[in-house]
Amino acid sequence: MFNKQTRNYPASHVNNFSRRENKVEPSFFGGAHHVPFFKPARAFGVVKAKCEDGENEVWQMGKKAYGKGVLQPVGQEEIFSTPTYSEKQLPEQNTRHFANCEGVTVEGWTDANYGNSYSSPGSSTPASDCDECSADDCVTNTGTVISVFTTNPQVTLPPVPSGLNECEYRAVQNFINTTLRAHEMQHVAAFNTYRGTVRTPYTYHGCASGLDAYTQQIHTDVESARKAKSDAKSAALDANGANIFNVSCDCPDPEPDNGE
């Protein structure tokens, strides 16, 4: 301990010191004791000193001199704050809106599957004055070209697109089964006008070897005209966007998906 009798202090100093008898003299007040009364406090801690009245006075003086308790008494208790940190990944929140079937595209089609054949029963007699062949091959043939036309229309309806809720799925399926199917059946009816049998009488004068080509051309001309007519009826059903329909659904938006 510091012995005050070995120091020559002014009376005022000695009297002041006597109040702190048997206390450690802080070195920064001019004492010879070299044990520092204060030491740096940790930056993130909260420092609390234990002291008696005299020590508290020195503490307050040192606090003013060194700045808000940056230093603390040697051997005093240190109370540190504990850093805290938390982190949590929250689920994403999503709201999904369907456009009540607006923008839904479904497409159906119908294949006509035309079929045709012909026959040409007739009678042939010898003739003359055939420029392309000899007198033995020259004939006159009379008969009828019988043309038979068939169809087997096949309707293809699309599946319901994915990504729809239950209400919209039912609405689109109903559209396919009613409006779209009915439209394609109109195409079936148009293609079926191709069906039938056509009889075309003919008289042929020329080489017997050319008779088959002649009757076939008769059938081909009839078939081409018949097919063009049924195709035109089918095409008229789609004219000016008549084959484009708005799929409407009176469906509410689904509840928001909060990721739960």
Following DSSP, what letter does each residue of the chain receive, concatenated?
Answer: ---GGGS---HHHHHHHHTTTTSPPPGGGT-S--S-SEEEPPTTSEE-----HHHHHHHHHHHHHHTTTSEEETTPPEEPPPP------PPP-B-----TTTT-----EEE--EEEEEE--EEEEE----SSS-TTTEEEEEEEEEEEEEE--EEE-PPPPSS--HHHHHHHHHHIIIIIHHHHHHHHHHHHTT-EEEEEEEEEEEEGGGHHHHHHHHHHHHHHHHHHHHHHHHHHTTGGGTT--------PPPPPB---
- The predicted structure's pLDDT at residue 227: 96
Work out the percent of the chain whose per-residue pLDDT is above 90.
45
- For residue range 195-219, list pLDDT tens digits in order: 999 999 999 999 999 999 999 999 9
Q: Does residue 257 register a pLDDT over 80?
A: no
Q: Does residue 79 register a pLDDT over 60?
A: yes
- The predicted structure's pLDDT at residue 256: 59
Where do the structural domains in the chain lie, given as residue ranges?
A: 4-79, 109-241
- For residue range 154-184, list pLDDT tens digits in order: 999 999 998 888 888 999 999 999 999 999 9
- For residue range 126-150, list pLDDT tens digits in order: 998 898 888 889 999 999 999 999 9
